[in-house]
Structure 1
Amino acid sequence: MLTEEFVSTICGPPLSSNTAVAKDVGIYCHTLSPTYSVKSTFKKSSVPVNCLGVSDTHVFAAQHEKAYVHVYSRIRGNQEAFVAFPERIRCLTLAGDVLVMGTTEGRLMLWETCTGRLVSTPARHVQAVSCVVATPYHILTGSDDSDIHVWSLPQLLELDSTAEHEPKRSLSNHRAAIMALSASTNASSDTNFCVSASKDKSCIIWNYQTGDVLRTLLFPSTPLCLSLDPSARALCVSCDDGSLYLAELFASKPLLGAQSEDASTVEQISSPFGATQSDVGPASCLSFSYDGTMLLTGHPRGQILRWDIAENKSPVELANLNAAVTNIAFISPFPTHRPTKTVTITKPTQAERIYTFTGQFESYSAPETRFDSLLGATSFPQDTLESAIAAFYQPAAESAGDQELQRQNEELWEIINEQRALQKQTLQRYVEAKSNR
């Protein structure tokens, strides 16, 4: 049975003098299934919304109103590094081994955690970058200036590039600050889309590679956060009145696709999926489980609630962290097969130096092949040499593909010869008829 785990963060002082909750803990690692429990904790951290990144080996947490990031090792269970940056970090996300950060000055910074290389863009946003998401080939940044920029990840990480970094395009239909972003992770350009939530009480679904608006959704109140389910077929939005809205993108009346209405049609979302009590407050963060059947929401009064999407029951309180819950991130239950692993991060630097990669090679678990045995041998084995010499004296055996090709060639030559004979016979009759005249 797969074990589902997630990481949550809090921000701000304790809400009550509850001695059952440790006061100096800022990051919690939970086990959701098969049985809920708090697996481990990390201390001395105050993490605002959109400022958490979790990899297979590390947890990255930007600090509230600060210009530094705390790095925790999941392998060793302690704080590994305290990393300072030139500007205050407003949001961050992970793109593989690259930590992508948005600053309060409207700048984008990328830190390669395996090399220490730090890439910084000009301040292309007029105001602070409020949220950032990564796809396999793009970085999307939303800002308080109401714009969304789409960046090419390969171009941002290009070595020895002297050109000034510019976004590929800007998405500018919103009229107020961007609160949240979520994007599908499909590699196909035809099915890539992102969803943005704004203080103008709307969410817009974009084809971010072309800049086209696919659908606009209107809500009764301001959206605070949103999340796409793992298959990108449903969208969950939390609003500041405590309501949760679930929009199915490909239902009987689809919002996207060939059967949907025209993109200029605005969809009013008015029926909430659920609502929280006033003493709990609206959800400031939410995340789907990896099978899409459960939704976790974090609240400013410290509660983490679990919602059953399939059965639509009342939420269940998983935990009360005695401080405002700001981030919830699920950890993939499926192992990732990568050739290297970042055991120890390399702190960022902008100094000119040799590009050095630091990582640990993973063991090769595939069954040993004949090539592997030859590669590990000190010289050519005797049986290999004998079989190679014997192969030179044996006639080459025709494969099934060669035999089929030869048969087709023979049939083609028969047709050509028949045509030649017919042409010769026709020409001979023409000569005879002409001579009789």
Structure 2
Amino acid sequence: MPTEQFVTSIGAPSKPPTTNVAKDAAIFIHEFQPLLAQRTIYKKSATPPNCLAVSRSHIFAAQAEKAVVHVYSREKGNQEATVPFTERITSIAFACDETVLVLGTAEGRLFLWEVASGRQISTTQAHLQPVTKVVIDPTQNFLLSASKDSTVHLWSLPALLSFSNAGVQPSSPIRTFTSHRAAVTALDVGHSSSFCNIAVSASQDKTCFVWDYHTNTVLRTYLLPAVPTCQVPDAADRAVYVGYEDGSVQQLSLYSVQNAAVGSATIQPPASSRWLSSDKTAGAVLSISLSFDGCSILTGHESGSVFAWDVAKAGLTTSLLQAPLPGPVTNLSLLPVSGFTGEHHSKLKIPSVVKPKFGAFDNANGAVPGNYTLNVEFNSNASALEQSSFQEALTAASFPVSMLDEGLNELLSWRSSIGKPDGSAQKETVDFMSLEDESEQPRQLSLEDQNVSLQAELEALRSLQRASFEKMDRINAERKALLEREQKRLGRTMPNGTGATINGAERMDLDVDDSSSSDG
């Protein structure tokens, strides 16, 4: 049965835990559907906003006011390692199929840590103030970093991870978005893997920009009624749901963004698009996430409460916890749904993370160094190791052209006539979308029947070829006769025998006289 779970983490505890919460519990995994219940807890953590990253095997939690990241094993259910860094971590996110952890620091720098090899890469100080959020685009080619200095940088992820940059500082950002006038509090990108994708950023200046991060072009500007704290885009990029400091949630429609003119006027969302909470003690919305079906929004609040909002009803549905958590819910994320038939599994598994080693794999010539090793295991799931080309194409960034051509040719073959054993053409066409009983569908031809059909088609082609050649012979014979008749007419001379040819008009008169005399 498909199961959907969500993970939450709290910051520094502000009150003693209730009886239903274990001591020192700080990270919680709850089942959201089909049965609401607590599944796993992890202890000894205080995580600030945007500092929790969950993979299929591990949980990474950056600690508040510390340059430390706690690593938890989801299989063992305990803390696996404590990883120190040289700077305090303010934001983390996964990249490259959960093999690279991107960390933003309080000094405005970015760290890239390969968790399977321990390789660590550091950028220059690009931001003037702490990084508030890092986001990876769906193509895994671009990295966006937002900061309190009101800017958003766009980085090339392959360039940052390239060994050609080993031993030297990586290149500068590709471009910088500078339309905000205060700290950027929220940043997300659309779900498209094309060059027409969008980015959505919100700021303390009460503005929300929808812009194309490939060209730095602003597509739409929203004037918000309050200071935004977090946001989440719809799965189909139809809307963005924004959380505010007063505990309310607002829906910003993006349906007309793609058709809007560049540089269009700013928009102030209607008051009806803002959903108010009936619980005035919940506090600010610190984290927000969207369910798999896009029908429910989950929000984590400063009071420790977790609420569910109904998108269709545009309002608060219920509280998901019997009692609030002992601290502010700084991070909340719905995990990928598990339990589907033919569920996609990663081919590689990271059994244990390797602590970062800055500069351990530097190589001046840009080649892969000899001491570079990966600590990975092949997934034992046969379906993960043996996938058809069609299954791989479904998860790829774009569909292969060769496979599209093959499919179109197959559709044409279904619509074409199939020769019968007696040589006659079958006029009925195969309807591959038909809902009739299978017994009424054309039977599958055996190898002998296919050979007979091909021989009949070959004989028909030969008959057509013979008929075409015969027709060409008749046309050539008629053409030859006409040319000979024309030469005879042109070869006639004058009656005096001078051999002079007769012009066209006189020749026609002679022909008429000859014909009349012969008739007489």
After TM superposition, the score normalised by the length of structure 1 is 0.82
1:111 to 105, 109, 113: 113
Give the conservation status (yes or no) of the 8 Å contact 2:240–2:251.
Answer: yes
The one-character-per-residue Cα deviations of 1:223-254 (angstroms, maximum 9, x if unpaired) are 1110012222221001223321012221xxx2
Task: Return the alpha-carbon distance in structure 1 between the equivalents of residues 204 and 384 of structure 2.
Answer: 55
Query: What is the 5 A alignment of 1:61-140?
Result: 61-95=61-95, 96=97, 97-135=99-137, 136-137=139-140, 138-140=142-144
Task: Return the alpha-carbon distance in structure 2 between the equivalents of residues 286 and 332 of structure 1.
Answer: 15
Question: 2:346 aligned with 1:342, yes or no?
Answer: no
- Which of structures 1 and 2 has the bigger CA Rg? 2
**Residue type of the partner of 1:344?**
S
Question: 2:177 aligned with 1:160, yes or no?
Answer: no
SS of residue in 1 equivalent to 2:163: coil
Question: 2:175 aligned with 1:169, yes or no?
Answer: yes
Long gaps (5+) in structure 2: 362-368, 387-450, 492-500, 502-520
Task: Return the alpha-carbon distance in structure 1 between the equivalents of residues 385 and 34 of structure 2.
Answer: 36
SS of residue in 2 equivalent to 1:28: strand
Give the conservation status (yes or no) of the 8 Å contact 2:26–2:42.
Answer: yes
2:237 to 211, 226, 232: 232
- 1:2 is displaced (CA, Å) by 1.3
Number of corresponding residues: 399
Report sequence identity in percent: 38
Give the conservation status (yes or no) of the 8 Å contact 2:227–2:244.
Answer: yes
Give the conservation status (yes or no) of the 8 Å contact 2:57–2:73.
Answer: yes
The one-character-per-residue Cα deviations of 1:365-394 (angstroms, maximum 9, x if unpaired) are 25999xxxxxxxxxxxxxxxxxxxxxxxxx
Task: Return the alpha-carbon distance in structure 2 between the equivalents of residues 432 and 154 of structure 1.
Answer: 80
- 1:23 is displaced (CA, Å) by 3.6
Give the conservation status (yes or no) of the 8 Å contact 1:14–1:23.
Answer: no
Task: Identify the residue that residue 5 of structure 2 maps to in structure 1.
Answer: 5
Query: What is the 5 A alignment of 1:418-433?
Result: none
**Residue type of the partner of 1:244?**
V
SS of residue in 1 equivalent to 2:225: coil
Task: Identify the residue that residue 362 of structure 1 maps to in structure 2.
Answer: 379
Task: Return the alpha-carbon distance in structure 2 between the equivalents of residues 216 and 366 of structure 1.
Answer: 46
Give the conservation status (yes or no) of the 8 Å contact 2:180–2:203.
Answer: yes
- 1:116 is displaced (CA, Å) by 0.9
The one-character-per-residue Cα deviations of 1:104-141 (angstroms, maximum 9, x if unpaired) are 11111111111111111111111111111112331110
Q: Say what the alpha-carbon RMSD is for the aligned residues.
A: 3.3
Task: Return the alpha-carbon distance in structure 1 between the equivalents of residues 305 and 383 of structure 2.
Answer: 45
Task: Identify the residue that residue 378 of structure 1 maps to in structure 2.
Answer: none
Task: Return the alpha-carbon distance in structure 2 between the equivalents of residues 17 and 328 of structure 1.
Answer: 19
SS of residue in 2 equivalent to 1:189: coil
Query: What is the 5 A alignment of 1:292-311?
Result: 292-311=294-313
Distance verdict in 2 for CA 1:299–1:263, change over 3 Å: same
1:184 to 187, 190, 199: 190
Q: Which moved more, 1:148-157 or 1:56-65?
A: 148-157
SS of residue in 1 equivalent to 2:382: coil
- 1:91 is displaced (CA, Å) by 0.4
**Residue type of the partner of 1:269?**
P
SS of residue in 2 equivalent to 1:314: strand
- 1:302 is displaced (CA, Å) by 0.7
**Residue type of the partner of 2:164?**
D
2:251 to 246, 251, 257: 246
Task: Return the alpha-carbon distance in structure 1 between the equivalents of residues 228 and 309 of structure 2.
Answer: 18
Question: 2:283 aligned with 1:275, yes or no?
Answer: no
Task: Identify the residue that residue 144 of structure 1 maps to in structure 2.
Answer: 148
Task: Identify the residue that residue 328 of structure 2 maps to in structure 1.
Answer: 324
The one-character-per-residue Cα deviations of 1:301-336 (angstroms, maximum 9, x if unpaired) are 110111111233433111210211100011101443
Task: Identify the residue that residue 418 of structure 2 maps to in structure 1.
Answer: none
- 1:17 is displaced (CA, Å) by 5.9
**Residue type of the partner of 1:274?**
W
**Residue type of the partner of 1:340?**
L
Distance verdict in 2 for CA 1:166–1:262, change over 3 Å: closer
- 1:261 is displaced (CA, Å) by 5.1
Task: Return the alpha-carbon distance in structure 1 between the equivalents of residues 17 and 6 of structure 2.
Answer: 26
Distance verdict in 2 for CA 1:310–1:122, change over 3 Å: same
Task: Return the alpha-carbon distance in structure 2 between the equivalents of residues 323 and 225 of structure 1.
Answer: 18
Task: Identify the residue that residue 22 of structure 1 maps to in structure 2.
Answer: 22
- 1:275 is displaced (CA, Å) by 1.6
Task: Identify the residue that residue 56 of structure 1 maps to in structure 2.
Answer: 56
Task: Return the alpha-carbon distance in structure 1 between the equivalents of residues 384 and 244 of structure 2.
Answer: 52
- 1:167 is displaced (CA, Å) by 1.3
Task: Identify the residue that residue 45 of structure 1 maps to in structure 2.
Answer: 45
SS of residue in 2 equivalent to 1:242: coil
Task: Return the alpha-carbon distance in structure 1 between the equivalents of residues 483 and 147 of structure 2.
Answer: 86
Distance verdict in 2 for CA 1:78–1:368, change over 3 Å: closer
Task: Identify the residue that residue 372 of structure 1 maps to in structure 2.
Answer: none
Task: Return the alpha-carbon distance in structure 1 between the equivalents of residues 37 and 135 of structure 2.
Answer: 29
Give the conservation status (yes or no) of the 8 Å contact 1:57–1:343.
Answer: yes
Task: Identify the residue that residue 393 of structure 1 maps to in structure 2.
Answer: none
Give the conservation status (yes or no) of the 8 Å contact 1:133–1:140.
Answer: yes
- 1:19 is displaced (CA, Å) by 3.9
Q: Which moved more, 1:272-281 or 1:295-304?
A: 272-281
2:209 to 204, 210, 235: 204
SS of residue in 2 equivalent to 1:160: helix
Larger % of strand: which?
1
Larger % of helix: which?
2
SS of residue in 2 equivalent to 1:155: helix
- 1:278 is displaced (CA, Å) by 3.0
- 1:16 is displaced (CA, Å) by 4.3
**Residue type of the partner of 1:349?**
K
- 1:337 is displaced (CA, Å) by 2.5
